[in-house]
């Protein structure tokens, strides 16, 4: 029996198990940004590395501001590399349209997640473990999720990043249970399921659209879900 839960944030609570790279790429397609997926992937990786190595995202940034910044870095890369040739007005319009599109999708998905998590929290304490930029507390408050978690373990704060199993051990310690009594729920097989298993926890893989088409051994997680409500 599970006594407590550890949840991932990005990809699990906000995008229904879909990798953020894919979520962004589909938005670029919807808004007819004329770049290839390979070019987009370059820009996505560049933005992630930039945000991971430089303190661009401030502790008071909302998710809206974080997403706005991430999109700007991606789009500036696409323009600087000559992949996307547009006027300033076209860039500003496309940036705004994609930002609003993505934010509305996240707002709807987190609303669904909040309903599920509220029900789970009625009977089980929960901790959040996330690779994030130091502003996850502000983001949780933005989406009405800030009262649900006993503690937040954020990579930028604790200095440990997934897939290091020690970050899940910190979550287990916050719950004050044995690892075997804790279930970790996450969308990333590599960053959530494998290290959580190494930390001694049970695991539930939220299987959605991945960054690659790689196949995983689905006997490793204790359960596989395709919608957060299946936890109920």
Q: Looking at residue 197, what is its pLDDT? A: 98
Fold of the domain built from segment(s) 4-18+109-231: Rossmann fold (3.40.50)
Q: Cα(151)–Cα(188) distance, rounded to whole angstroms?
A: 21
Kindly state the average pLDDT of the residues 7-26.
97
Q: Looking at residue 1, what is its pLDDT? A: 85
Q: Cα(149)–Cα(171) distance, rounded to whole angstroms?
A: 11
At 38-84, the pLDDT tens digits run: 999 999 999 999 999 999 999 999 999 999 999 999 999 999 999 99
At 104-132, the pLDDT tens digits run: 999 999 999 999 999 999 999 999 999 99
Q: Looking at residue 201, what is its pLDDT? A: 98
For residue 21, pLDDT beyond 90: yes
Kindly state the average pLDDT of the residues 191-207.
98
Q: Cα(19)–Cα(22) distance, rounded to whole angstroms?
A: 5
The percentage of the chain sitting over the pLDDT mark of 70, rounded to a whole number, equals 100
Q: Tokens 């029900």, residue?
A: 119
Q: Give the SS3 label for residue 56.
A: coil
Other CB atoms within a 10 A radius of the CB of residue 120 amount to: 18
Kindly state the average pLDDT of the residues 196-224.
96
User: How much is the pTM?
Assistant: 0.95
Q: Looking at residue 146, what is its pLDDT? A: 94
Q: Residue 202: in which H helix or E strand, if any? A: strand 202-206
Neighbouring-strand partners of residue 151? 127
Q: Cα(121)–Cα(138) distance, rounded to whole angstroms?
A: 20
């Amino acid at each position: 029996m599970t006594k407590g839960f550890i949840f991932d944030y990005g990809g699990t609570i906000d995008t229904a198990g879909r990798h953020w790279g894919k979520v962004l790429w589909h938005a670029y397609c919807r808004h007819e940004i004329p770049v290839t997926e390979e070019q987009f992937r370059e820009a996505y990786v560049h933005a992630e590395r930039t945000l991971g190595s430089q303190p661009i995202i401030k502790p008071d940034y909302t998710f809206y501001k974080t997403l706005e910044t991430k999109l700007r870095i991606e789009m500036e890369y696409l323009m600087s590399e000559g992949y996307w040739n547009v006027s300033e007005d076209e860039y500003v319009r496309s940036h705004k349209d994609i930002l609003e599109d993505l934010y509305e999708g996240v707002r709807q998905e987190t609303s669904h997640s909040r309903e599920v998590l509220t029900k789970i929290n009625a009977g089980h304490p929960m901790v959040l473990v996330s690779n994030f930029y130091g502003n996850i507390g502000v983001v949780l408050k933005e989406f009405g999720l800030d009262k649900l978690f006993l503690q937040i373990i954020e990579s930028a704060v604790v200095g440990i990043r997934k897939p290091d199993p020690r970050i899940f051990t910190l979550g287990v310690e916050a719950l004050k249970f044995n690892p075997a009594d804790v279930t970790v729920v996450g969308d990333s097989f590599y960053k959530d399921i494998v290290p959580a298993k190494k930390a001694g926890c049970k695991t539930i893989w939220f299987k959605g659209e991945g960054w690659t088409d790689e196949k995983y051994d689905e006997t490793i997680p204790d359960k596989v879900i395709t919608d957060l409500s299946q936890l109920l």
